[in-house]
């Protein structure tokens, strides 16, 4: 496959239709019967087929940190609906914090059915220059672009562009992605909801999308239809949107259709999506689709209400209901019984659920279990489950691995007419369990109202609201008894009438994200569909003072915000325009937030502004989710490009872009003035540390913070409100589960272990030694501010703990003396020798220390349970994996020395034939540690005799003038740099040593690159929920129950909404305080002199009846009761800022107007009390 930086576009002018056939003159194409030439209005200017350009560069992590809530007893999520916490920092707060969170950067806790499971969880466009032969032919009012060679293949064997779809592939998998690429989708209705759905499924990479709309753009559409401009009012929505949607993904042809939805037309699609469609048309299309095996998704939004319906036919094959990686566990016992009981090792819970199917491998003794068909289990406990009748099987001796097997199953859907009469609901909010049935009646009544009047109920109009209630009562009376409501919620129906004319971007984003995910489920058979109705409302967004909204304030003004004013009135629109917000991050969530900000008018007024900052550049893998970017934007800065793109969506938005990291080193940029002028902050970050820093700044400046994050189909939102809720940092995550060192070094039992080992190898061979050599040869200068700190490499190294000094110096000696290459052939020799060391010699030594028949002190086999007995490999020049390793290792090794490598495999094979590898003989007296505790004890008893010898043998830096090495930073997304080649080969060779199934390149990149799976649908839905909370923040809601933290998992599907946790309350001296409170101390005295330490201590004793026992600023201890008397005497009469500068050994920046001081205090009774921090104002 060729890579090319060429961006090729074919422009088809507005002339009689023709084909481009090589360089010959145009000729009339052959058209099917009944087809005609394309009218110029159908093309709307030019039609461009874009081939993506080449792109390279480094990919930033999409890492997301999740915090999740689980029912502690493993019960139903519905029984524990509370408060789930957000990725990258997620929380679900429906449960007590002690079990409410898990660090999701590497793993995530999630709710599935009735049990909790633990899931362990980081460009280039391949373009061949082809002759593009494209014909434009047109049926009446239908645009078809048929590319003979320029378009990607769309059959089942079509290649998947892993560079573009990499993050989505880790969510869906290759098989599901292939199904997407063979599915044509119709999206009918191109208002705000329809364009959101179309955007998401085009980004997903379906075969083709056809846009259908017979209506023209209205002013109210501009409040959420982000691909309409003000000059588009009066034009067909589908035709205007088509070229803008087509830019999202060059692999997906996007066409338009403006005729009626006749049966012949519908029969050409695998999935039909109806958005904002009259019920009568829904029923007609739904009946046809159900009878012809066409999958149907119906979506509708009305102001703060949303509706979703799915019909995927009478027999749909569901291949994977949740998308999680199959679980596995190690077996410790299997009984001979009916049924047999399997006991797993107690290192971790097995995580299975009753009804799961499992298979067995490597069971010793009871061999009948190995290789059998998947069998269903019944869970008996966290470490046990029952299987089939094993009474006639052989006796179990030891070992075995049990693995979950995902067995396809059939699910059936009722047609729309049948389901309308007898609905099944997915609950989105467990605090509103009665709402779906009520809204099911309400939406039917609303359709009747619209059919009778040709419009929606007028905003806040009492007459229309009363009529809708009457219609709803009639619908309810005619409904089947199973659906009929004993007490129709007339107030809810009235609220539906009040807002039905509204069109809100955040609601469209949420429902549109869900609907697009259902389309993908329909195409792929992956993830559990919505069965079959889903209703949603966000009435908490309305003003807490309901009397504030009147019909007059909600009247349309013929501007782009009419759809929003219809719900919230004109007052909120003015407030939104005046807001000044900081958006930290312009990735997937950042792009979606900017889009929603532009649609709702945030920062679009004269005094408003949105500042977006992101230091990263755009990469190819971003394009699948970060929809503001295009292929020609690759390598450009994200923040600048996103800001420019969002101005196209709404030219009134006052957005400023920056490239500065928000952190301690930029506090002179994001200083007191900057934060004090903000109205709020929205995070779109991929790092827990960065989130916690922004959270601390928001607490300090008392600004609201909107937190969100995603991980595959999971997402979470947390809202932080000053003086009302807890902060993001209020609770700590449990520590991440790490792999024991001895498991990595000697006893791996899973491919994740071998991949981590390979990553460690990469760092230990190609990065750390080169860095250490450079530091050894060029010592860092002494730091002026810290004159007493030794900065020499050798002295710093000797201060390291345990055996680290020895390991570092041995690596330096190898790099400078023992293994320093001078030619390419030397590098090949080194790679061959290292192969033998790692995959043969070290394994032989391990088996010498622990033979295959070794027994433990208790008489059990040593090589059992998690310890897999390895075997050494024999190097084979004809084995492609062996040669892959040598090629990658030799090239990387050469690179660290600045030597030229080679890609000629035949040449390397010839060089290998002359490499002599001495025969290895295991040595006696070599200690191999079985546990990390043994390793720690060995570190403690380290003898430094060898260390002194190494120091003496190292060459002096003066003897190597000008020599330097070149450390290599791991980069997973450049397939030409040998990095992933080395990881895959190194890991799979080690897996072969231990008889562990290998991992392909795709999975290897996921684990070794710490890739966070991501998909556009989840991002859209989560950001929609964020912006619903934004409405409340801007209005100044003061009731805790008005706000909603949320957690969603679109794969299940599962939704949890709950009020945030209140800020914890503390007391000292009968004074109550929370994290939002602090002591305010004015450092400058009335006499113009700054407060001294003595005066500071006296102030607290006098004003607050507190005796300070310790005082610190950051990591600097300024005062303590146990401080030596001489030092205390010296500091007591010094100004506070002078003490801070001296102790921290750094000058205070001019931007710093206040210090944050932490104090420990005793009350008047001498008891230690917890108190707030101190804000010490300097100026």
- Which residues are designated catalytic? 742
For 152-192, the DSSP string reads PP-STTPPP-HHHHHHHHHHH-HHHHHHHTT-EEEEE--SH
Angle between helix 751-766 and 880-896 (nearest 10): 30
Which helix (H) or strand (E) segment holds residue 273: the answer is strand 271-275
Q: Which of 155, 170, 242, 175 is nearest to 202 (CA)?
A: 242
Rounded Cα distance between 978 and 971, Å, is: 9
Rounded Cα distance between 1161 and 1163, Å, is: 7
Handedness of CA 768, 773, 774, 779 (dihedral sign): positive
- DSSP bridge partners of 184: 208
Q: How many CB atoms lie within 10 A of CB 679?
A: 18
For 475-516, the DSSP string reads HHHHS-TTT--SS--HHHHHHHHHHTT---HHHHHHHHHHHH
Query: Percent helix, strand and coil across the chain, each rounded to 5?
Result: 35, 20, 45
Q: Which of 456, 1059, 391 is nearest to 719 (CA)?
A: 1059
Residues written for the chain: 1179
Distances (CA, A) of 1118 to 787, 1138, 1152: 20, 10, 18
CB crowding 894-916: b at 16 or more within 10 Å, else e? bbbbebebbeeeeebeebbeebe
Residue whose token pair is 């991992």: 999
Q: Which of 300, 221, 311 is nearest to 536 (CA)?
A: 300
Rounded Cα distance between 1039 and 722, Å, is: 12
Residue whose token pair is 């072969």: 992
Distances (CA, A) of 968 to 771, 891, 965, 1030, 1036: 9, 11, 10, 44, 51
Token duo for residue 711: 């991980």
Angle between helix 162-172 and 1001-1008 (nearest 10): 80
Token duo for residue 784: 């002026």
Task: Assess contact for 890 and 827: CB atoms under 8 A.
Answer: yes
DSSP tag of 840: I
- For residue 892, report the phi and psi dihedrals to the nearest 5 degrees: -65, -40
Distances (CA, A) of 494 to 438, 443, 539, 773, 1041: 12, 12, 12, 75, 22
Rounded Cα distance between 222 and 504, Å, is: 10
Residue whose token pair is 């001294």: 1092
| Straight-line distance from the first to the last Cα atom of the chain, in angstroms, rounded to the nearest whole number | 64
Which helix (H) or strand (E) segment holds residue 755: the answer is helix 751-766
Contacts of 470 (CB under 8 A, 6+ apart): none
Contacts of 1072 (CB under 8 A, 6+ apart): 1065, 1066
Q: How do strand 89-93 and strand 107-112 relate by DSSP bridges?
A: unpaired
Rounded Cα distance between 124 and 626, Å, is: 16
């Amino acid at each position: 496959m060729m890579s090319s930086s060429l961006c090729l576009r074919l422009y088809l002018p507005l002339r009689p239709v023709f084909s481009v056939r090589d360089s010959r003159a145009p000729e009339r194409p052959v058209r099917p019967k009944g087809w005609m030439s394309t009218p110029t209005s159908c093309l709307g200017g030019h039609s461009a087929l874009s081939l993506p350009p080449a792109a390279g560069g480094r990919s930033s992590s999409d890492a997301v940190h999740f915090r999740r809530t689980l029912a502690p007893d493993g019960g139903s999520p519905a029984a524990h609906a509370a408060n789930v916490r957000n990725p990258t920092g997620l929380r679900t707060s429906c449960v007590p914090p002690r079990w409410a969170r898990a660090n999701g950067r590497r793993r995530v806790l999630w709710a599935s059915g009735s049990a909790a499971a633990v899931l362990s969880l980081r460009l280039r466009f391949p373009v061949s220059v082809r002759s593009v032969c494209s014909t434009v032919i047109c049926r009446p009012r239908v645009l078809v672009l048929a590319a003979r060679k320029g378009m990607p293949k769309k059959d089942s064997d079509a290649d998947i562009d892993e560079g573009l779809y990499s993050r989505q592939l880790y969510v869906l998998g290759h098989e599901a992605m292939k199904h997407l690429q063979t599915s044509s989708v119709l999206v009918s209705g191109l208002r705000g909801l329809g364009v959101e759905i179309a955007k998401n499924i085009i980004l997903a990479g379906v075969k083709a999308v056809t846009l259908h709309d017979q209506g023209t753009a209205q002013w109210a559409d501009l409040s959420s239809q982000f691909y309409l401009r003000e000059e588009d009012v009066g034009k067909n929505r589908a035709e205007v949107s088509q070229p803008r949607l087509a830019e999202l993904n060059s692999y997906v042809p996007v066409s338009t259709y403006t005729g009626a939805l006749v049966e012949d037309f519908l029969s050409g699609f695998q999935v039909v999506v109806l958005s904002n469609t009259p019920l009568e048309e829904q029923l007609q299309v739904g009946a046809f689709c159900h009878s012809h095996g066409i999958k149907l998704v119906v979506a509708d939004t009305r102001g703060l209400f949303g509706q979703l319906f799915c019909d995927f036919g009478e027999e749909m094959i569901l291949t994977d209901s949740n998308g999680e990686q199959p679980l596995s566990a190690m077996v410790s016992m299997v009984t001979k019984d009916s049924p047999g009981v399997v006991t797993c090792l107690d290192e971790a819970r097995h995580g299975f659920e009753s009804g799961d199917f499992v298979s067995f491998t490597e069971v010793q003794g009871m061999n009948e279990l190995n290789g059998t068909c998947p069998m269903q289990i019944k869970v008996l406990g966290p470490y046990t489950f029952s299987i089939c009748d094993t009474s006639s099987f052989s006796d179990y001796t030891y070992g075995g691995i049990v693995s979950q097997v995902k067995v396809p199953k059939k699910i059936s859907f009722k047609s729309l007419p049948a389901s309308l009469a007898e609905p099944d609901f997915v609950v989105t909010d467990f605090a509103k369990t009665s709402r779906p049935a009520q809204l099911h009646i309400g939406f039917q009544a609303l359709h009747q109202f619209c059919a009778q009047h040709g419009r929606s109920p007028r905003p806040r109009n009492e007459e229309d609201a009363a009529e809708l209630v009457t219609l709803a009562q009639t619908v309810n009376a005619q409904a089947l008894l199973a659906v009929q409501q004993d007490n129709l919620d007339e107030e809810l129906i009235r609220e539906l009438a009040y807002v039905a004319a509204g069109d809100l971007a955040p609601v469209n984003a949420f429902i549109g994200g869900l609907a697009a995910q259902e389309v993908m489920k329909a195409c792929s058979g992956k993830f559990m569909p919505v069965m079959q109705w889903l209703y949603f409302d966000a009435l908490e967004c309305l003003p807490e003072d309901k009397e504030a909204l009147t019909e007059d304030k909600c009247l349309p003004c013929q501007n782009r915000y009419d759809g929003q004013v219809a719900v919230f009135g004109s007052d909120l629109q003015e407030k939104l325009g005046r807001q000044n917000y900081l958006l930290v991050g312009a990735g997937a969530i950042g792009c979606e937030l900017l889009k929603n900000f532009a649609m709702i008018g945030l920062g679009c007024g004269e005094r408003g502004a949105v500042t977006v900052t992101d230091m990263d550049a755009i990469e190819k893998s971003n394009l699948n989710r970060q929809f503001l970017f295009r292929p020609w934007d690759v390598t450009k800065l994200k923040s600048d490009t996103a800001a420019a793109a969002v101005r196209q969506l709404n030219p009134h938005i006052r957005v400023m872009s920056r490239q500065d990291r928000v952190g301690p080193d930029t506090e002179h940029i994001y200083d007191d003035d900057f934060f004090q002028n903000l109205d709020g902050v929205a995070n779109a970050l991929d790092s827990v540390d960065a989130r916690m820093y922004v959270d601390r700044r928001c607490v300090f400046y008392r600004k609201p913070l909107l937190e969100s994050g995603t991980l595959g189909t999971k997402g979470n939102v947390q809202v932080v409100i000053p003086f009302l809720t807890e902060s993001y940092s209020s609770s700590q995550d449990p520590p991440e589960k790490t792999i024991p060192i001895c498991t990595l070094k000697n006893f791996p039992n899973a491919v994740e272990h071998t991949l981590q080992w390979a990553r460690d190898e990469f760092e230990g061979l190609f990065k750390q030694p080169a860095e250490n050599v450079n530091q050894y040869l060029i010592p860092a200068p002494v730091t002026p501010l810290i004159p007493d700190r030794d900065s020499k490499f050798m002295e710093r190294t000797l201060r390291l703990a345990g055996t680290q000094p020895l390991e570092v110096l041995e690596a330096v000696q190898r790099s400078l003396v023992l293994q320093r290459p001078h030619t390419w052939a030397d590098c090949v020799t080194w790679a061959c020798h290292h192969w033998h060391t790692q995959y043969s010699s070290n394994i032989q030594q391990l088996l010498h220390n622990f033979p295959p028949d070794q027994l433990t002190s208790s008489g059990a086999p040593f090589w059992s349970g998690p310890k897999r007995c390895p075997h050494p490999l024999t190097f084979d020049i004809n084995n492609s994996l062996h040669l892959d390793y040598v090629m990658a290792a030799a090239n990387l090794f050469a690179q660290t020395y600045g030597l030229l490598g080679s890609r000629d495999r035949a040449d390397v094979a010839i060089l290998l034939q002359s490499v002599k590898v001495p025969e290895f003989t295991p040595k006696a007296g070599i200690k191999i540690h079985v546990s990390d505790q043994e390793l720690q004890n060995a570190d403690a008893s380290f003898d430094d005799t060898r260390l002194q010898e190494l120091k003496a043998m190292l060459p002096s830096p003066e003897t190597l003038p000008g020599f330097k090495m070149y450390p290599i930073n791991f980069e997973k997304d450049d397939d030409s740099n040998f990095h992933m080649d080395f990881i895959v080969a190194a890991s799979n060779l080690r897996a072969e040593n231990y008889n562990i199934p290998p991992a392909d390149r795709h999975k290897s990149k996921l684990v070794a690159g710490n890739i966070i799976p991501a998909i556009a649908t989840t991002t859209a839905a989560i950001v929609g929920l964020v912006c619903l909370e934004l409405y409340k923040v801007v209005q100044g809601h003061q009731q805790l129950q008005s706000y909603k933290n949320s957690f969603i998992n679109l794969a299940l599907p599962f939704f949890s909404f709950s009020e945030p946790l209140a800020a914890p309350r503390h007391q000292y001296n009968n004074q109550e305080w929370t994290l939002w409170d602090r002591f305010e101390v004015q450092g400058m005295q009335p006499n113009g002199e700054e407060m001294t330490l003595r005066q500071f201590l006296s102030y607290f004793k006098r004003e607050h009846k507190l005796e300070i026992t310790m005082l610190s600023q950051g990591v600097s201890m300024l005062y303590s009761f146990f401080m030596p008397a001489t030092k205390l005497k010296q500091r007591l009469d010094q100004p506070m800022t002078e003490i801070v500068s001296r102790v921290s050994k750094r000058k205070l920046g001019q931007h710093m107007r206040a210090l944050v001081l932490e104090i420990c205090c005793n009350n008047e009774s001498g008891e230690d009390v917890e108190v707030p921090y101190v804000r010490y104002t300097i100026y």
